[in-house]
Amino acid sequence: MKQNTIVLAIVVIAVSAMIYAGAYKSRTASAKYDDVPRIAGNVKGKVAPEFELKTLDNKTVRLSDLKGKAVLVNFWATWCGPCKIEMPWFVDLQKQYGPQGLEIVGIAMDDSDDKTISDFVKEMGVNYTILKGKESVGEAYGGVVGLPTTFFIGRDGKIIDQAAGLVSRSEIEQNIKIGLAQGAPAGSPQSSKAAGGK
Supply the angle between the helices 81-97 and 2-21 in degrees, to the nearest 10. 30
User: What is the rounded average pLDDT of the residues 43-72?
Assistant: 96
Q: How many Å apart are CA 42 and CA 23, to the nearest integer?
A: 23
Which among 46, 92, 87, 79 is positioned nearest to 146, based on CA atoms? 79
pLDDT digits (tens, 9 = 90+) for 8-30: 545 444 444 444 444 444 333 33
Label the pairing between strands 60-62 and 52-55.
antiparallel
Domains of the chain: 53-192 (3.40.30.10)
Q: How many Å apart are CA 144 and CA 21, to the nearest integer?
A: 10
On whether the pTM is more than 0.85, the answer is no
